Amino acid sequence: MQLTVVMKFRIAAALAAGIVVIGFGAWPLVASHEPMVTVFIDIITPMTAIILVALAVFVGFIGYFLAWPYGKEIAGLAVPAGLAVWAIRSANMTKLMLANQTIQQRQQIFATFTWEPIFWLIVVFAGFGGVKIAQKISPQKELDEDFETKSGTNLKKYINSAIAVVGSVLIGQILIGILAQDFRLPDTVLGSVVAQPATAQIVFAVLLAFGVAAFLVKLLLNAAYIWPIVAAAITTALVSFACKRQDLLQRLMDRHPLVFFSDVIAAILPIQMIAFAAMGAIAGYWLAIRYQYWRIHGI
């Protein structure tokens, strides 16, 4: 993929489609009269969800043609870019905890977060679906740089996909734990607690963590970027499930200020995790392809 000036403009146009249509155009669907609203599933009505999925298909579709002839490679970023605007404009987890101060309310929030990532995955995959529809209408030439191989049984592909998911969960948890953690305090029961990271820190940590995961699973397992994205959802679900324990929440409420969490991932909203993980995974995947091409051809 040669990034000429014209190609850079096309890539920017595809990303802009998601940012304009979803990031800003659809923002009134979730915005309220409050100065800042926390974007999570409880404020998404069924009609809003339908509209958002339809817009995602549309954005993926037009992004394919805006990024031509590399629509297949680039247009998948359009919807996550739009959701990223929501994720950045959203209030953080601390504000959500402030509005829900009983243990029961907080348990309900973390219980919701165990399945909410599925919704954001559906929105992102709807964008991929729009790209597929556009590709059926106007197929593009496959990149010479891709080292996708036809060899290997279906069983091996399934195994590699499973390893890619598990590996991405581990990589994501480790790197986010390192890169996104803010001020940390020791706790005799929980080990330690960590303060709410800044939004910019969350963006950097999640992008890099799942970018690295996608790069490695493509390079080592020839696995698609959807598996690190799925892993991001699993990561949020696992941490949320662990954080809804009554004794844990009681300990936090009794001993620590509101801004502290038992795990830094618990301070990251599902929309933030999925939006930035998807962008990082797609970028890491294509960087792996470019790296392998460079290793083989030296250019």
Predicted confidence (pLDDT) per residue in 164-189, tens digit = 999 999 999 999 999 998 788 888 88
Q: Which two tokens stand for residue 229?
A: 């994205």
Answer whether residue 143 shows pLDDT above 60.
Answer: no
Answer whether residue 30 shows pLDDT above 50.
Answer: yes
How many domains, in total, are found in the chain? 1
Q: d(Cα 110, Cα 107) in Å, to the nearest integer? A: 5
Q: What percent of the chain has pLDDT over 70?
A: 92
pLDDT in tens, 188-243: 888 889 999 999 999 999 999 999 999 999 999 999 999 999 999 999 999 999 99
Q: Which two tokens stand for residue 183?
A: 């001020």
* Mean of the per-residue pLDDT values of the chain: 90
- What does the pLDDT read at residue 15? 92
Lowest average pLDDT, out of 127-131, 145-149, 150-154, 261-265, goes to 145-149
Lowest average pLDDT, out of 67-71, 93-97, 108-112, 293-297, goes to 293-297
- What does the pLDDT read at residue 181? 80
Radius of gyration (Cα) for the chain, nearest Å?
A: 20
**pLDDT-derived band at 149, boundaries 50, 70, 90:** very low
**pLDDT-derived band at 6, boundaries 50, 70, 90:** confident
Q: d(Cα 100, Cα 98) in Å, to the nearest integer? A: 5
Strands 260-261 and 191-195: antiparallel
Q: d(Cα 30, Cα 263) in Å, to the nearest integer? A: 27
Q: What is the DSSP letter of 152?
A: S
Domain limits for position 272: 5-297
pLDDT in tens, 97-131: 999 989 999 999 999 999 999 999 999 999 999 99
Cβ-in-10-Å burial (0-12, 13-18, 19+) of 97 comes to buried
